[in-house]
Structure 1
């Protein structure tokens, strides 16, 4: 009898802000304000996506921007964060790191500082209400000018230790020059922030090396393409760089054709800490527990392997030591306890 995946304590380290929204909330807020959503976000949801070319990524980004447009009030922001916390807690997360680019919301909410204050307050409230530990990563957008990234790095540095623990770089990794974002990451590094850029998903091992050279990451968002280069895997392991692997988005965006191809076992065997993440459940249709369920179903991951993944997610997290210790004890208890047979539901 296999224990429920939702009962397995774990950390969620790759979750984007708007992408964490419930589909039902998107529909409700759009209807409230008369926002016409494309069919891909309504009757054809979850959308059929690809990022194999610029056109595919543009469509993905357009859907994300449309979803972001329904967030009109402070209550909308608080609702999104609270519901994301509720969903992660229900999926077994004991620690969630949510990633946000404040510049995408500044025009609606009074600037990047005011919006950051709002998000951090919403995170504190949601954490108290659900018991889920939470922290924030401020992320720059690699399709914008590197000077904008420096502005966001300074913003993140101002909040270091006050709800913000990390600085990231997101969006289409085929865009922009990775080296040009180095100065922004140097600002964040001096402030003691964790460095968590995206890399090694849409581009291959060479891009991972660029990230290592210029951005000095503690973790890489995705990083799965590192599996194509054994020497690179050894470098990542030696430097202690963890990977945030998001199987559902890898498939949806065309990085791999089948779930069997996502190289989670290879990354683990190389000695890397791998933390499964949902990325953008609003667009990919699968939340945190669903990532574990996909590996259980498609790659026949044993309960011991799933428990190992959960342990690695906690090791890679910025969570306090007592949270990690509690989670590790809970993982051991999960592994030793069989429950009635059931089917884990991949929640939308």
Structure 2
């Protein structure tokens, strides 16, 4: 038997805030406050999604916004973060980076600063409770004005080194002018934050190049379609830009039709660092360990390959050096266990 993926130490670098919510928690909070959920979030869960056109993305975003609406109290926020940490710990994560746009919650929680402080406090408590390391990425929304992104970049800079380590840019890649967000990323870069915008999932290699030119990323959220351009792969490898690949998200949103089409091996063969992430488990139905499991099942990834993916997730993370080193040793032990000889009575004479 192959060793459980949940025993493989790994880092989780692509996890959205509301999207990390447990489905059972969504149902419970909605019932508490009389929030009527669409059937796609109840009996038809996980929903059938696509982002092939604006209508498909609008439906995805509407479901996300509906889920966000059930977060109404500080205890709700703390519960979401605690349960996300518990789920990641159960999946083998030793380090989790959770991404949030405070402006989406500000009206209900006293503004972007108060909400950020609430999330950071919740992250500290969840980390202490579960024993995994955690940090926060503050992300701007590319469907909003670039000046809003500058405000969030300054907010992220204010908390740099105090629980916030990164600045991102999310939502539909086909919206907004990527170059217009450059000044916001310059603010974050000057503050020493990791730059982790989304790119290269709904749009192809040309958009990845826009991100490289204007946003100077350390990592790219998704980036999977970089595989369509060998020269771009060479450039990403040369620049040491890691990719946060989310297999179940790619298929759910229609970027690829099947799991066996996702070119993870192509990225690895090109020398890129690849970190698997769950993106929005609430909407895609699969958490962190599931991303490794689908590659094991659909593409016959060996334990050696899975271990290397776990190593790359740690190398690409903001985890402290000591935590990373211990986890890398545990990965070696996991792999050694997977390669142990069969019991003596089953060995050939």
Report the secondary structure of 1:140's partner residue.
strand
- Give me the CA root mean square deviation: 0.9
Task: Check conservation: 2:94, 2:327, Cα contact below 8 A.
Answer: yes
Could you tell me how far 1:42 is from its partner in structure 2?
0.1
Residue 2 of structure 1 corresponds to: 2
- Structure 2 CA distance, aligned partners of 1:132 and 1:320? 12
> Does 1:157 pair with 2:157?
yes
Could you tell me how far 1:338 is from its partner in structure 2?
3.9
Task: Check conservation: 1:139, 1:169, Cα contact below 8 A.
Answer: yes
> Does 1:257 pair with 2:231?
no
> Does 1:171 pair with 2:171?
yes
Task: Check conservation: 2:19, 2:281, Cα contact below 8 A.
Answer: yes
Could you tell me how far 1:165 is from its partner in structure 2?
0.1
Residue 330 of structure 1 corresponds to: 330
- Structure 2 CA distance, aligned partners of 1:74 and 1:258? 39
- Structure 2 CA distance, aligned partners of 1:5 and 1:266? 22
- Structure 1 CA distance, aligned partners of 2:241 and 2:23? 33
User: What does 1:121-270 correspond to in 2, within 5 Å?
Assistant: 121-270=121-270
User: What does 1:98-117 correspond to in 2, within 5 Å?
Assistant: 98-117=98-117
- Structure 1 CA distance, aligned partners of 2:289 and 2:326? 19
Tell me the number of residue pairs that the alignment of Structure 1 and Structure 2 aligns. Answer: 340
- Structure 2 CA distance, aligned partners of 1:261 and 1:165? 33
- Structure 2 CA distance, aligned partners of 1:108 and 1:273? 38
Residue 344 of structure 1 corresponds to: none
- Structure 2 CA distance, aligned partners of 1:26 and 1:8? 28
Task: Check conservation: 2:142, 2:172, Cα contact below 8 A.
Answer: yes
Residue 41 of structure 2 corresponds to: 41
Could you tell me how far 1:166 is from its partner in structure 2?
0.1
Task: Check conservation: 2:303, 2:338, Cα contact below 8 A.
Answer: no
Residue 346 of structure 1 corresponds to: none
Task: Check conservation: 1:3, 1:339, Cα contact below 8 A.
Answer: no
Task: Check conservation: 2:12, 2:276, Cα contact below 8 A.
Answer: yes
- Structure 2 CA distance, aligned partners of 1:45 and 1:339? 38
Normalised by the length of structure 2, the TM-score is 0.97
Report the secondary structure of 1:71's partner residue.
coil
- Structure 2 CA distance, aligned partners of 1:332 and 1:251? 31
- Structure 2 CA distance, aligned partners of 1:190 and 1:55? 38
Task: Check conservation: 2:196, 2:219, Cα contact below 8 A.
Answer: yes
